[in-house]
Amino acid sequence: MTKTTSALLGASHIRELASTLGIRPTKTLGQNFVHDAGTVRRIVREAGVRPGDVVLEVGPGLGSLTLALLEAGAAVCAVEIDPVLAGALESTVAARMPEAVERLAVANLDAMDVKAPSNLPVPRLLRSEEGRAHGRAESAPETAELEPGSVDFAGETARTGRLPEKPEQFVASTRNLAEPSRLVANLPYNVAVPIFLGLLEALPSIQAATVMVQAEVADRLAASPGSRTYGVPSAKASWYGEAARGAKISRNVFWPIPNVDSALVNFKRHGALPWLPADVAGRGAFADVAREDVFAVIDAAFAQRRKTLRAALATWAGSAARAEDLLVFAGIDPKARGEQLGIAEFAAIARAAGALA
């Protein structure tokens, strides 16, 4: 029986690559490299990555998770702040998984600077596929009928509220092939929350995410109203969708071994459905209120979380009396505290501020 060799990275590979590149992991960039093939495969499985998915990876480092994503058949848009690591990633993939190189694109970029899909790198395979899809769309008349066996996905979903029986027949020209639908990443622990929330805002095409963060941060992102860990991160994350605590990750799968525990967070955007284009899946009940206004309410409510909302929102509203008026208008008890409110209640307060302006 022939023994197959895994293309994924082990502990010795990680140290050898780091030595070759002159990399010494730094706390400043949150560099702790995963060196266990079973762990990265587990992350990919928990993320539900399928062949053909376009995945955004933040901080690929030496390429452990990148190779696992490519092994699963995904196309990967990788964003890496370290110029040495960014420059070496494609070579690592070419050496260990050459057939997957055309499904990878890497940008030397701080994830905090991603403000739109146009900031992301596009794998060569997607550039060629998008060009072909664009050519088909340009050459077809506006009233052209669908090809036999295809589905007018957006139209059918809008009419019936149901997915077509065979979503894989979805007409390619109704979505941008190059935009990621998933975020799968080992996020830098010191800036995990702002990166996570910033990418959800900048990239509406991301319908699902599985990210590895510090265990305490995972608890805060996935917390429900009324719990001890519920606060600004969980309230703001719920603006975009539902976050749930995933598996705990052992410290022993990292090099160097971190001083904190790690865990996964699984996220699904509001209205997200398999194969649903971002412009079809909106925020529903939150469409009539601005994110900035809701987030301002959240920040004010938790700035003094032990105080009642009447007191905590006084500065934001202009006075305690006006804060009470807004809360009553929104149907919320002025004596309640911010930790008791869900995203719908925070949105109701922001709407009240607009209505009573």
Calculate helix-pair angle for 291-303, 343-355, nearest 10 degrees.
110
Pairing of strands 75-80, 104-108: parallel
Structure tokens belonging to residue 296: 């301002």
Tell me the C-alpha distance between 101 and 125, whole Å.
9
Q: Are 124 and 178 in contact (CB under 8 A)?
A: no
pTM of the full structure? 0.83
DSSP 151: B
Q: What are the two backbone dihedrals, phi and then psi, of residue 126, each rounded to the nearest 5 degrees?
A: -70, -35
Amino acid letter, residue 294: V
For 101-146, how does the pLDDT look when each residue is reduced to its tens digit (9 = 90+)?
999 999 999 999 999 999 999 999 998 766 555 444 444 444 334 3
pLDDT at 146: 38
SS3 letters across 67-126: HHHHHCCCEEEEEECCHHHHHHHHHHHHHHCHHHHHHEEEEECCHHHCCCHHHCCCCHHH
Give the tens place of pLDDT for each residue, 33-50. 999 999 999 999 999 999
Take residue 121 and report the two structure tokens written for it: 């790198």
Q: At what angle do helices 215-222 and 192-202 cross, to 10 degrees?
A: 40
Answer yes or no: is pLDDT of 147 > 60.
no
Between strands 208-214 and 254-255, the pairing is unpaired
Written as six digits, the tokens of 191 are 């800036």
What amino acid is encoded at 235 in this protein?
Answer: A
Backbone angle region of 63, left / alpha / beta, with phi > 0 → left and psi within -120 to 50 → alpha: left
pLDDT higher than threshold 60 for residue 295: yes
